[in-house]
Amino acid sequence: MKVILIDDEPLARSIIKEYLQYHPEMELVAECSDGFEGVKAIQQFQPDMIFLDIQMPKINGFEMLELIEDPPAVIFTTAFDEYAIKAFESHAVDYLLKPFSKDRFDKAISKWSQSTRQGSKEKLLPLLDSASKSPSEQQRVVVKLSGKIRIIPVEDIHYLEAADDYVKIHTREGSFLKNKTMGHFENVLNINQFVRTHRSYIVNVTEITRIDPYEKDNHLAILKTGARVPVSKTGYVKLKSVLGL
Amino acid sequence: MARSPLSVSRFRNIFFGWWIAWAFLHTLLIIGYDYPFNAALVDSLITNGLLMGACGIISNILRYYLPYSNRYVYVFVLCLIFSLIVNALGKFLIILTLTDLAYAQYIPFLSNAYWLRLGFAFLMIGCMAVICVLWYTQEEEQENRQRKNDAEKLSRDAELYKLRQQLQPHFLFNSLNSISALIGSNPIQARNMIHQLSDFLRTTLRKEEEQWVKMEEELQSLELYLDIEKVRFGHRLSTVIKKDENSLQMLIPPMLLQPVVENAIKFGLYDTTDAVTIFISVLTENDALKVIVQNPFDPETASPRHGTGFGLNSVKRRLYLLFARTDLVETQARDNVFTTTINIPKHESYTN
């Protein structure tokens, strides 16, 4: 069993290493002190399980998981994070609250080895969805573009466009794909700034310069960049109410 | 409940003195029309006695029911009704008292003067009503002001208490986790960290808001905090503290700097992945304390708005509550360095 440890505090890693000594079947293949190293190590070693801290430099544990295509089983470790703990509890994912005892640690390991890998992954996706609803996560979106990780502040988003199983995020610096649904972004983004104008479009209203009629019943929102975003009949009603027209 | 103006002895004396004077004048006036002294006295005592009673009642009514502004028409109507009652009752009592034939011409005189008497009664009662409305309005306003002051003081105290008690569970649990790890590998350091953590917690709990502390003391507890954080983050965190000798003896509200430094650490450590150095300098400028805290940050990912967070807001709020000024905390982000400057005006009781 290959295991990776991701935590920014050396002492927090050392205690897990110490507890792991009592589980010789688990082989610690990598130790990472932030999410970037974590993404790399997971791709390189394909571990069976990771211990993952939530609050870490640059990108947090949840954001890191979003960047991994086929995430391994996860045991979360955190000291205190109301939102995360709520998310864990509602999705029955195992987590360790620091400081945790060896007994508690052993319990988490045996729980994990009993459950199949499949099961824990099924729980992971809805967990990530609800975890990213915590206030700090609404301010940025983490994406990966040809191996490089980008952190996009939501103010920089011009508009979002549905693209099959992905959402295309259009910003000043180009567009990025994110493996999420339009519904997810509609829920997570500030509704007073981001309006779903169309089944396949969410637009940042601060970027709009004008709204033109287009064919019958439809409109086009013209952005500062010149981009043209379709506005459906119902989308136009929503847009007008947000703009106070 | 507002005090009645008649409960103040000075006003009570004026009130009774006023009616005695009027009763006297009234008697003299009627004697001047060549009516018998007895009739004049009876008329005067009954009329002025009734008016005085009516004024007392009006004052009490307004005490419990003060009309809203622009509804003074009710007071007007009330005064009119009271004047009519006083007049009718007065006439009835006078007729009842002056049964002797000698006073026979006095009754028509009474009837002739009806409008004059009514006007006089209305003026008297109206005057009393106006005085009472003014009195009670002012009384109510004073009460409101007092209540508002009390409420403000209460909420201020509560808020200060809460801000001070932000024990940062994240910091606490992570420190405990570090200690737990050290117990296995380095028991001596673990014990040392327990002492540091206890000392730090004690300083956060002990300090009273009113009791300003010397900068020297504040820096000591800050260093405790930084030492704990350094154990947690290992080689990634280092600090440089510069202080001028004068500033060490100056006073500062307790635990004011801790959230600022905490913010700097969070900002520095969670927005970059490199080693982080936090600069703290303490100096005096025009008799006031100036504290500058600097931390590196990554402008690419951290919009400064996002980074200021709870810590700095609480400091701003505290300084506002203490000095009623909003310009004491300045922040600046330049060349990957985030600078927080805090100005602490001289404490009034500094000389004590």
Q: What is the DSSP string of A17-42?
A: HHHHTT-TT-EEEEEESSHHHHHHHH
Cα A76 to Cα A84: distance, rounded to the nearest angstrom: 9
As given in the structure block, the two tokens for residue A172 are 């000043």
Please give the share of chain A, as a percent, with pLDDT higher than 90: 40
Chain A to chain B Cβ contacts (< 8 Å): 80
Q: Is the pLDDT of residue A177 over 70?
A: yes
Q: Give the per-residue pLDDT at B100.
A: 78
- B187 and B333: one domain? yes
Best B172, B177, B233, B295 member to test A by mutation, with max A CBs in 10 Å, is B177
Give the single-character DSSP code of B4: P
Q: Reduced to 3 states, what is the DSSP secondary structure of residue A211? A: strand
Strand partners, A151: A142
Q: Which residues contact B203 (CB under 8 A, 6 or more apart)?
A: B221, B224, B254, B255
Flag whether pLDDT at B266 surpasses 90: no
Minimal C-alpha gap between B243 and chain A (Å): 30
User: What is the model's pTM?
Assistant: 0.65
Q: How far is A57 from chain B (nearest CA, A)?
A: 4
Instruction: State whether B217 and B289 are in the same domain.
Output: yes
B173 and B154 inside one domain: no
Domain residues for the domain of B104 are: 5-162
Query: Does the beta-carbon distance from A11 to B232 stay under 8 Å?
Result: yes
B82/B206 same-domain check: no
Least confident of B73-87, B91-105, B117-131, B191-205: B91-105
For position B3, what pLDDT does the model report? 77
Last residue of a domain, one of B162, B178, B197: B162
pLDDT at A20: 95
Residue B245 has pLDDT above 80, yes or no: yes
Most confident of B60-74, B172-186, B208-222, B263-277: B172-186
| Co-location of B186 and B307 in the same domain | yes
How many secondary structure helices (H) and strands (E) does chain A include?
A: 8, 15
User: Residue A163 in contact with residue A181, Cβ under 8 Å?
Assistant: no
Partners of A15 on chain B (C-beta within 8 Å) are 177, 180-181, 184
Least confident of A127-141, A199-213, B196-210, B237-251: A127-141
Q: Give the pLDDT confidence of B74-106 residue by residue, as tens digits.
A: 888 989 999 999 989 998 888 888 887 777 788
CATH label of the domain that carries residue B195: 3.30.565.10
Widest CA span in chain B: 121
Band of the pLDDT at B208, cuts 50, 70, 90? low
Residues B140, B66 share a domain = yes
Taking residue B7's Cβ as centre, other Cβ atoms within 10 Å add up to 10
By DSSP bridging, strand B237-243 and strand A27-32 are unpaired
Return the sign of the alpha-carbon dihedral for residues A104, A110, A115, A120: positive
Q: Residue B55 to residues B5, B10, B69, B271: CA-CA distances in angstroms?
A: 12, 17, 21, 76
- Cα separation of A199 and A193, whole Å? 17
Token output for B32 = 């001047």
DSSP string of A69-109, one letter each residue: SS--EEEEEES--HHHHHHHHHHT--EEESS--HHHHHHHH
Mutate to test the interface with A, among B194, B229, B270 (most CBs of A within 10 A): B270
Q: Are residues B45 and B76 in the same domain?
A: yes
**What average pLDDT does this structure show over B51-68?**
86
ipTM of the complex: 0.78
Residue of A nearest to B270 (CA): A57
Which of the four pLDDT bands, split at 50, 70 and 90, describes residue A81? Answer: confident
- 3 state SS of B200: helix
Q: Are residues B174 and B244 in the same domain?
A: yes
**d(Cα B110, Cα B96) in Å, to the nearest integer?**
13
Question: How far apart are alpha carbons B152 and B160 in whole angstroms?
Answer: 12
pLDDT tier at A168, thresholds 50, 70, 90:
very high
Class of domain A2-136: alpha beta
B126 near B51, Cβ under 8 Å?
no
Rg value, chain A, Cα: 21
| pLDDT above 70: residue B200 | yes
Report residue B167's pLDDT band, with 50, 70 and 90 as the boundaries: low
Min Cα–Cα distance to chain B from A60, Å:
9
Domain boundaries, chain A: 2-136, 152-243
Task: Tell me the fold of A152-243.
Answer: OB fold (Dihydrolipoamide Acetyltransferase, E2P) (2.40.50)
What is the average pLDDT across B2-15? 84
Establish whether domains A2-136 and A152-243 are of one fold.
Answer: no
Looking at the predicted structure, is the pLDDT value of residue B182 above 90? yes
Tell me what the mean pLDDT of segment A82-103 comes to: 81
pLDDT at res. A53: 92
B184/A11 Cβ within 8 A: no
> Between these two residues, A138 and B314, which has the higher pLDDT value?
B314
Q: How far is A233 from chain B (nearest CA, A)?
A: 35
- B195 and B62 in a common domain: no
The 8-class DSSP code of residue B351 comes to G
> Bigger pLDDT: B206 or A20?
A20
Residues 30-89, chain B: which have Cβ within 8 Å of A?
A: none
Three-state secondary-structure class, residue B273? coil
Say yes or no: B252 and B226 in one domain: yes
Hey, is the C-beta of B186 within 8 angstroms of any chain A C-beta? no
Please write the tens of the pLDDT for every residue from A15-73. 999 999 999 999 999 999 999 999 999 999 999 999 999 888 888 888 898 888 888 88
> To the nearest 10°, the Cα dihedral for A44, A181, A192, B326?
-20
B152 and B181 belong to one structural domain: no
Structure confidence at residue A106 as a pLDDT band (50, 70, 90): very high
Stronger pLDDT, B104 or A229, i.e. the higher one: A229
Q: What is the biggest distance separating any 2 CA atoms in chain A, rounded to whole angstroms? A: 70
Q: What is the mean pLDDT of chain A?
A: 86
A230 compared with B205, residue with greater pLDDT: A230
The answer to whether A18 contacts B273, with C-beta atoms less than 8 Å apart, is no
Judgement on whether residues B109 and B45 belong to the same structural domain of the protein: yes
CA dihedral B114, B116, B120, B121 (to 10 degrees): 10
Residue A71, pLDDT score: 84
Residues of B in Cβ contact (< 8 Å) with A36 = 273
Number of structural domains in chain B:
2
**Of B234, B301, B221, B290, whose CA–CA distance to B262 is shortest?**
B221
CB nearest to A57's CB, from B173, B177, B269: B269
Q: Which pair of tokens denotes residue B109? A: 């005189």
The percentage of chain B sitting over the pLDDT mark of 70, rounded to a whole number, equals 89
The mean per-residue pLDDT over the stretch A150-155 comes to 85
